[in-house]
Amino acid sequence: MKSSSTNSHKCLKICCVITTIFLIIVAVVFTTLWFTVLKPKDPEITAHPDGLETINPFSMLVITNLTLNMTFTIDNHRNVGTFKFKNATGYLNYHGDIVAEIPIGKNFVAGHGKLNVTSSVDLMVSKIISNPLFFNDVGEGSLNLTATSALHGKVFQQSFLDNQGSAFS
């Protein structure tokens, strides 16, 4: 009788050890996936001005406001989940001075996807002209404008997982 009892205890111990090892492996794999593949990453934002090539810098001395179209490409290729963001405002800078505000409406970008958002921008020409570097830039033949924006939202990976995320450009 003792031998069958000893054998069942031995089988029980082996089963418990194998189950524990299996659970440790599953926990390590899940933790590794969570901190690598499933970790929300910030989407990349790229601004593309449309029609800037046709603007003559000398005509800016006559007009007071200038409207141009901007296309923002929000690239969510690094995320498995969907990035959903709220209304935001982008800014167009000229040597540190904000010369335009760009409205960006709420939207979402699917996982591994891209979204193009088009918006109209009203340039404040008087701010550009009043900058002391304007005439130097006109002499060189280029105006260096920088677009910045911040999108705050959430990354939805699965129906039961959601994380905070933001994107800056």
Give residue 53's pLDDT: 58
Q: What is the mean pLDDT of residues 36-60?
A: 73
List, for residues 53-79, the tens digit of each pLDDT value.
Answer: 556 666 666 676 778 888 888 898 888
**Architecture of 44-168 per CATH?**
Sandwich (2.60)
User: How far is it, in rounded angstroms, from Cα 55 to Cα 123?
Assistant: 12
Note the helical H segments in the chain. 2-35, 125-130, 134-140
Instruction: Tell the burial category of 15 from Cβ atoms under 10 Å away from its Cβ (0-12, 13-18, 19+).
Output: exposed
Residue 143's pLDDT is what?
80
pLDDT tens, position by position, 114-123: 999 888 888 8
Structural domain boundaries of the chain?
Answer: 1-36, 44-168
